Amino acid sequence: MEMFSTFFNLLLVILGFGLLIFVHELGHFLAARWAGIRAEAFAVGMGPVMGAWRRGIGFRPKSTWPDYMRRMHEYLGDELAPNEEPSPEQRDRAEKALGIGETEYSLRWLPIGGFVKMLGQEDANPNAVSDDPRSYNRCPIGKRMVVVSAGVIMNLILAAILFIIAFLVGVQFEAPVIGDVDPTAPAGQAVAQNAEALGITQPGLQSGDRVLEIDGSEANTFADIQIASAMGRPDREIEFKVEREGYDEPLIFRMTPERDQRARLLSVGLYPAFSATLDPRDRNNMIDPTLEALRLDEAGVESGMTLTHVNGNRVRTFQQILAEAEASEGEPLRTVWQHHDRRGEPVGSPVEAMLELQPVLPAQRYADAGEMDQNFESGLLGFVPLVRITMIPEGSPNRGILKPDDAVFRAGDLHAPRSRDFLRKIQGTEVGELDLVVIRNGEESAVTARIVRRGFFDGAGMLNVSVGTSHHVPYTAAPMERIALPRESPDDEVQTYTPAAAALDLLPGTRLLRVNDHPIENWADFRRALLEVTQEAQADERSAEVRIEVQHPTPGRERETVTMAISANEVAHLHRTAQSWSVNLSPVVFEPLYATRTANGNPLRAVWMGVEETHKILMLTYLTIDRLFRRTVGVDQLRGPVGIVDIGVRIADRGIMYLIFLLAMISVNLAVINFLPLPIVDGGLFLFLIYEKITGRPPSIGFQNAVTILGLALIGTLFVVVTYHDIARLFTGG
């Protein structure tokens, strides 16, 4: 059934893509007929002919050309030699007498384009001119400009119509509600401009905040937030107007986007809100591995179920689940899961399961974080947990080699690396194998992981697994030597301090056994013990000393008790930031929290929304091209036919209206790309016409040939590179 659904979605996307091409070429064709230009072929698709139709001849499995030529020779007789093609004048005369159409309409095997063949004009052959009065090159320049631009205009009109249809019915998008905030990113450190007036003391946006406006423009979807950040500039602030529960007026935040190495785009560190329903489509192939890792599958929890109750309380969003975790003080959550039908009615029996919690460790920011680096580690007082393998998606080369909850004890020549060093090691490793030692079920296990390449221009290696922090084993990676304090402004100088753990000079891979008299089995124990033994110091606002028994990662596994001095500031920071708990569930396994954009059945409103959205996507496409040249957007973020089809197939699961919306967006993009001033595409031809209008003569054939070859090379190279990234994403799940 899933295969049939995927095939049906693929068919829908191909048909939709074909519609865009058909409409584009129809624009050229109708304009050519209006201008009196002889249109000899109208094709949807490229390559060999699948089937063709011509008036007076009918449908043929391949081309109508053989039958057409036979009829021409029969009528014209001795005017033609046996293999001679008739002239345009002879064709006009014979076609009129025989009732045969001048145009062959064909469908071709490769759904990646289309064309209209006009007498005297071929994109790839500037020499194909004609002296016939109905040829393209003999047509007045003004009419030729209309013919060249008609395809683009038709695509914009089609986009507006598709947007209108989508908004009349309504389209679901991710709501502009904040689900998570990166505490080290701009959104986590920005202070509201009106914070003092509203009595707000904590910096940053918060989970549950709703973004109302971005730089004065209404935020309708979470994509608006992502686009504003990605298309921003690293030297210019973005203003967010935010609605927060409990406050009568909006909060105003200003922040400058920074490069996010995971997304490989500029970002402010905001992530969308999610519902409490496990995504039935499992778009990221993460649900089954996640349920397996948490052993929820053993209780009967499966994709499509909704987490309805936590500790007896009704929950509807992922943020409410986190709130219940916070209130539980570390105790496992009693959860109830239920299937529902489309009307929201329960189906089948509910499933009960216990959900273990993990401590939320404060972010410890690196003082020397480069643009390409992870900029923080989670931890306590400079201690850092080992890297944990959290999930291995379907299709990963390391599925079956690594397992959920593996703690990385060694990676090649790195012993107990921190997360940043581990990622650097993986990214710098050639495609092939890497020896790892992991702690699995309390024992050290040697495994050989497989490294794959991330992309064509990006030769960095990757494991294609998700990683996190190993809260479940009481080991520390190399303690951090310096930690950066939060900056109030991006222009402020970075201030750093030496954390308490740095003075202990512990080796990476040291095991934490005891804090004073408190035994340590995991990081929850470690945090709880530190909070308890520093409680009096926190109350008195003074420094503290604690005894930590450790086991060194030496051959003899020697034990030692060390004394750690904790400053008053660190004691206060520990008690302020190290009290939270969270579920070991990624929000991306749940369906997003949706908002519906609709005209509520008002046709005039739908028309306005459609025109507005067309203009918005048009400007965004040009902005994307600008950001490509500024190198804040990489070429690996672009999508070619393979990527578009892949996205379309996944999006089709969200409903026909969302697919229509996607096709409208592609139609606008197609219009923009086709009208860029590049050889081969419509924009380049239009530029030639402007030159001809100004100078009174067309560019020389030699010049046209040269730029045509250059254009073919540029477009061909871009096509190969983009297709490579598209295919790589299919295999890596990117």
Query: Tens digits of per-residue pLDDT, 205-220?
Result: 988 899 999 999 888 8
- Residue 558 resides in a domain: yes
Q: What are phi and psi of 434, to 5 degrees?
A: -140, 125
Which of 256, 272, 288 is the last residue before a domain boundary?
272
Block residue for tokens 């008690």: 575
Q: What is the pLDDT of residues 115-157, one digit of tens each?
A: 888 888 776 666 667 788 888 888 999 999 999 999 999 999 9
3-class secondary structure for 145-178?
HHHHHHHHHHHHHHHHHHHHHHHHHCEEEECCEE
Surface-to-core class of residue 628, CB atoms within 10 Å of its CB (0-12 exposed, 13-18 middle, 19+ buried)? middle
Tokens 């591995």, residue located: 289
Q: Where are the beta strands (DSSP E) in 326-442?
A: 333-340, 346-355, 357-359, 363-365, 376-378, 387-391, 407-411, 414-415, 432-440
Residue type present at position 284: N
Q: Please give the C-alpha separations between residue 382 and each of 213, 499, 688, in angstroms, as whole numbers.
A: 38, 5, 64
Q: Which of 19-23, 128-132, 186-190 is least confident?
A: 128-132
* Angle (nearest 5°) at CA 584 between 448 and 574: 105
User: Same structural domain for residues 166 and 239?
Assistant: no
Neighbours of 556 (CB within 10 A): 7
Determine if the pTM surpasses 0.85. no
Q: Which domain holds residue 315?
A: 274-360
Contacts of 604 (CB under 8 A, 6+ apart): none
Q: Which residue has the higher pLDDT, 351 or 288?
A: 351
d(CA 642, CA 369): 36
Residues 151 and 214 in one domain: no
Q: Are residues 346 and 428 in the same domain?
A: no
Domain boundary among 248, 272, 296: 272
- Report the number of distinct structural domains present in the chain: 5
% residues pLDDT > 90 (the chain): 33
> Of 464-478, 549-563, 663-677, where does mean pLDDT reach its minimum?
663-677
Residue 50: what pLDDT? 92
Cα–Cα–Cα angle for 205, 177, 320, rounded to 5 degrees: 90
- 24 occurs within a structural domain: no
**Of 272, 294, 311, which residue sits at a domain end?**
272
Regarding whether 627 and 563 lie in a shared domain, the answer is no
Return the closest-CA partner of residue 593 out of 335, 324, 302, 207: 207
One domain, residues 606 and 727: yes
* CA within 13 Å, CB half, 681: 18
Are 344 and 393 in a shared domain? no
Residues 605 and 697 in one domain: yes
- Residue 459 confidence (pLDDT): 64
**40: burial class by Cβ within 10 Å (0-12, 13-18, 19+)?**
middle
Q: What is the pLDDT of residues 271-281, one digit of tens each?
A: 888 988 988 87
Q: Is the per-residue pLDDT at 474 higher than 90?
A: yes
Out of 35-44, 478-487, 567-576, which region has the weakest mean confidence (pLDDT)? 478-487
Question: Does the pLDDT at position 452 exceed 80?
Answer: yes
CATH code, domain carrying 397: 2.30.42.10
Say if residue 645's pLDDT is above 80: no
| Residues 658 and 709 both lie in one domain | yes
Q: What are the start-end ranges of the E strands in 256-356?
A: 258-260, 265-267, 270-272, 274-278, 306-310, 313-314, 333-340, 346-355
How confident is the prediction for the chain on average, in pLDDT?
84
Check: CB of residue 499 under 8 Å from CB of residue 381: yes
The CATH number of residue 544's host domain is: 2.30.42
pLDDT score for 460? 75
Contact 106, 115 (CB under 8 A): no
CB 473 within 8 A of CB 522: yes
Do the domain assignments include residue 60? no
pLDDT score at 230: 78
CB 141 within 8 A of CB 686: no
Same domain, 620 and 677: yes
- State the SS3 of 121-132: ECCCCCCCCCCC
Residue 2 is predicted with a pLDDT of: 47
Q: Is residue 13 part of a domain?
A: no
Mean pLDDT of the region 228-236? 80
Q: Which of 709, 647, 236, 718 is nearest to 457 (CA)?
A: 718
Give the integer Cα–Cα distance in Å for 681 and 707. 11
Token digits of residue 347 = 């189906």
Residue 368 located in a structural domain: no
- Binning pLDDT at 50, 70 and 90, where does residue 3 land? very low
Residue 4's pLDDT band, with cuts at 50, 70 and 90, is very low
446 pLDDT more than 90: yes
Give yes or no: residues 551 and 514 share one domain.
Answer: yes
Question: Cα–Cα distance between 685 and 677 in angstroms, integer?
Answer: 8
User: In terms of residues, how long is the chain?
Assistant: 734
- Do 340 and 435 share a domain, yes or no? no
Are residues 351 and 307 in contact, defined by beta-carbon separation less than 8 angstroms? no
Alpha helices (H) along 257-302 = 287-293
Residue 133 placed within a domain: no
Does a structural domain hold residue 522?
yes
Does 354 reside within a domain?
Answer: yes
- Asked if 259 and 265 count as a contact pair (C-beta separation under 8 A), the reply is yes
Regarding whether 299 and 265 lie in a shared domain, the answer is no
